[in-house]
Structure 1
Amino acid sequence: MPNLVVLGGGESGVGTAILAQKRGYTVFLSDSSKLKPTYSQTLLSHHIPFEDTTHTTPQILSADIVMKSPGIPDTAPIVQLLLNQGTPVISEIEFTSTLSAAPTIGITGSNGKTTTTLLTHHLLTTGGLPVGIAGNIGKSYALQVANSSFPSYVLELSSFQLDGIVNYAPHIAVITNISPDHLDRYEYKYEKYIASKFRITMNQTEGDYLIYDADDGATANWLGSNSTKAQLIPFSVKRTLDEGAYLHNDRIIVKIDKDTLIIDTADISLRGKHNYKNSMVAVIIAILQNVEEASIRSGLKTFVGAEHRLEKVMNIEGVEYIDDSKATNVNSVFYALDSMTAPTVWIVGGVDKGNDYDEIMELVKEKVKAIVCLGVDNKKIIGTFGGVVKEGRIAEARNMVDAVSLAQGFAVDGETVLLSPACASFDLFKSYEDRGRQFKDAVRKLQEE
């Protein structure tokens, strides 16, 4: 039997271990950190050997194949040892796809991929199609293949997951957009990050599709100098297209194979041009999957957006509080600020990933009334925006309760408090989800006071 070592005991690692065991692999899981109790109990109940807080190097190096969790960089010493001896190191996506014949819809991008994945899944299931949803969302792809039999899957895919594919080929691939993100994992070279995203199409054939943002410069540049066998379907909010989807006079117009579907933006539950793009992608996919028009229209009206993504929390004394904790890069904040229609108190900060704030400078000048910096080190944000807002309207906080309290002090009736950090969360929070939950809890406490 093949000998599989799984590096990392999170959702993807544990799911892979269970799938591999069911398919006859000899499995060993190793994590240099302490496993969460729920994962260690799951492994014990399946009688899968594992270790945590250490790596037993000889046992790991004896593997025939290694599945590396996406959070572990290629530069990790144990990964370097494996690569140097020629051991295949792959992602959960690659491993699972070799054990499942179900076609997949793979969605990647710097921003919008979670909302697009959720909306796509919603439109397909509203249309009566039994479709799994996995990748960066919910239960792992591997665990779902191990425990269920969906005929197809919608996968949200990060660049880290795509770095570990070899033969994986989605039937429908989506690149929502590309902007600088995670550059610390790519030697601070933007071109390497772009290339990582386009791995999603490298194994596609003439019978597959690549849906892409025709307004996105990085995407256009790559397509201008590289090729893919997939059929290209663009979308745009800036220009008219002969094929694909575009915005015209507050209507989304979708043209696929000489068929045209026109949807009023008023009939879509999501707001903002970035969400119109997300909706275009989901509608294109639904049409390619033969979902009926009535079901598409119904699904667009009934969809509820992703948690922590421009999520309206509460209106207190005329001030709207919005949780956009998932905005962990500058481009995502651009979309958030662009959608603001009232003077905004902006809560920003965390672990900077090489952010260039120039692209949102004009929006900050136009939309932002005051800034609350929420991070351990706020020098860069204060240095960049200190002269943009009026004197006395930039403040620092080291916890969420203080940040929300400061924001409340700046905001008045008719204005908005927006948590849209542009940074990773790990200086003060466990994750962006933890950051968002703490924001919502702090806002609700304001209501109680």
Structure 2
Amino acid sequence: MDLRDLRVTVMGLGIHGGGVGAAAYFARHGSRVTATDLKDAEALAPSVKALRGLPVHLVLGEHRNEDFQRSDLIIRSPAVPETSPLLQFARSKAISVETDASLACHLLLCASSCKAGLSSLPLPSLPASCFMIGISGTKGKTTTASLVTEAWRALTIPVALAGIPGTSFLDTLHYIEQKRSSAVLVAELSSWQLETLTPHAVSPPIALLTNLFPDHLNRHGTMQAYQNAKSALFRFQKAEDVLIVPEADRGVWESHLGYGAIRTIGVHETAKVPPLRIAGDHNRMNAALALAAVETALAHPQFPRDCHPRERSLKRARAAIAKFPGINGRLQEIAVWEQRRFVNDTTATNPGAAIAALASCNGPLILIAGGVDKDLPYEALAECIASRVKHLVLLDGSASEKLAALLPESSRFKTPRWNRMEDAVEAAFRVSAPGDTILFSPAAASFNLFQDEFARGAAFNEAVKKLAEKHA
């Protein structure tokens, strides 16, 4: 492999690691890298700092035509729409346009074929056998991918986790290139990333879908389009490959099946899952799906022989899953103060996730919710709030207005729209009592008030800390 002097443009440097990972990967291989973003250096300060010392040319605050006209390969952020005029121009000139996920998956899964355009580029040939497990779903992707990864580690199998927030698929590609033995790649894939796999007509040999309910309809337009995007996870599977889904979702996915088989996991199978540190029936299902993925992978004919564990039992995998502490911002208990539990579920960016959070918490609940609507239905959440929530506190945003209009007339649900997290947390504390849980599960996007859901979660944690200091 020789990537020296390959002209690479990274479109959308961003702050979540994908753009940084892509730029760093090619820069370390000697490519001539330009990273461009419409945001300025101040807004992208963490990413700019991460690339310090690497030969990456930064073009920030704008996209320039010449950076696309003179490129051999463009790596775009999944957030950049396919309809971008700059990308359309590049394709008209036969310049390859990929995401970090589509490029990595192409290299891992296209053993005998090559997408037109990529064949002329000096892309790496991966030396070791790598078996891929792809994981998607509306919610639960990161938790389930992490559970699968922990299970492999407990079995002492070399494993890499790709696609989680804050990382790039190309970081993982670099890890695999350095490996001298076989490995398992656990890949979390969003609907936006899965869309980019379709032109390659590839799907991982083991695919796992946690669930499906409305999300990102402001991006996909319809529920059918969203479902079609998700189906790329398994649509191109071969006869020996397997899709793993909850039994309740079998009918949703059967019409999209390619040549692979389908394995369903029923609610009764969650009884085989050991007691977990993470709360909720949905997490018991995530754990059951994770164990099924490991078991199914070990039986796959393409699973590397030198990766098989010495013990056939999954006892150690079950023990590792039982000890898994959870992911930040996902039903994360951050404090118990004045006999109130404070729970951060900032990654609940749609109504379905918030419903699952409400079902996972015991006792009286004060719910902090709201934010930006993604063209999602809120009727089911409103019904759940009406029957389950003691008091509601709303952040400002279009989703908050949609939700409020669906709730019954009651003092429990009449709340100002708060623009500051500190004020929302203070308001929740004032209406709470000892024994209550104050749950932050927004059911919406965050971009009107926060940089992203992770910044929103950090703001909640800081607000709880300041509340305790204020009332000490």
What's 2:21 paired with?
A: 15
CA distance 1:295–1:440, shift in 2 (3 Å):
same
**Which amino acid is 1:221 matched to?**
V
* Residue 67 (1) aligns with residue 64 (2): no
What's 1:172 paired with?
A: 206
What's 2:384 paired with?
A: 363
| Cα contact 2:231–2:256 (8 A) shared by 1 | no
* Residue 144 (1) aligns with residue 152 (2): no
What's 2:277 paired with?
A: 269
CA distance 1:81–1:385, shift in 2 (3 Å):
farther
What's 1:281 paired with?
A: 289
Between 141-150 and 417-426, the greater mean CA deviation after superposition = 141-150
Q: How far 1:26 sits from its partner (Å)? A: 4.4
**Which amino acid is 1:338 matched to?**
A
Q: Counterparts of 1:144-223 in structure 2 under 5 Å? A: 144-147=172-175, 149=178, 151-165=183-197, 166-167=199-200, 168-186=202-220, 188-216=221-249, 220-223=251-254
Q: How far 1:328 sits from its partner (Å)? A: 0.2
Distance, in Å, in 2 between the alignment partners of 1:80 and 1:8 is 16
- Aligned to 2:278, the other structure's residue is in SS state coil
**Which amino acid is 2:19 matched to?**
G
State the TM-score, normalized to the length of structure 1.
0.87
Contiguous gaps of at least 5 residues in structure 1: 241-245, 253-262
* Residue 430 (1) aligns with residue 451 (2): yes
* Residue 115 (1) aligns with residue 147 (2): no
State the TM-score, normalized to the length of structure 2.
0.83
Distance, in Å, in 1 between the alignment partners of 2:373 and 2:388 is 22
* Residue 132 (1) aligns with residue 138 (2): no
**Which amino acid is 2:47 matched to?**
Y
Q: How far 1:361 sits from its partner (Å)? A: 3.2
| Cα contact 2:393–2:413 (8 A) shared by 1 | no
Q: How far 1:44 sits from its partner (Å)? A: 5.0
Identity of aligned residues (%): 28
Residues paired across the two proteins, number: 422
* Residue 31 (1) aligns with residue 61 (2): no
Distance, in Å, in 2 between the alignment partners of 1:386 and 1:363 is 12
Q: Counterparts of 1:297-336 in structure 2 under 5 Å? A: 297-336=318-357
* Residue 235 (1) aligns with residue 269 (2): no
CA distance 1:442–1:18, shift in 2 (3 Å):
closer
Distance, in Å, in 1 between the alignment partners of 2:339 and 2:78 is 42
Distance, in Å, in 2 between the alignment partners of 1:376 and 1:285 is 39
Q: How far 1:304 sits from its partner (Å)? A: 0.6
Q: How far 1:24 sits from its partner (Å)? A: 6.0
What are the Cα deviations for residues 284-304 of structure 1, in whole angstroms up to 9, with x where unaligned? 123234663221231122111
Distance, in Å, in 1 between the alignment partners of 2:412 and 2:26 is 59
CA distance 1:215–1:103, shift in 2 (3 Å):
same
Q: How far 1:213 sits from its partner (Å)? A: 2.1
What's 1:243 paired with?
A: none
| Cα contact 2:353–2:443 (8 A) shared by 1 | yes
Between 332-341 and 369-378, the greater mean CA deviation after superposition = 369-378
The structure with more strand, counted as a fraction of residues: 1
Contiguous gaps of at least 5 residues in structure 2: 108-123, 299-307
* Residue 226 (1) aligns with residue 256 (2): yes
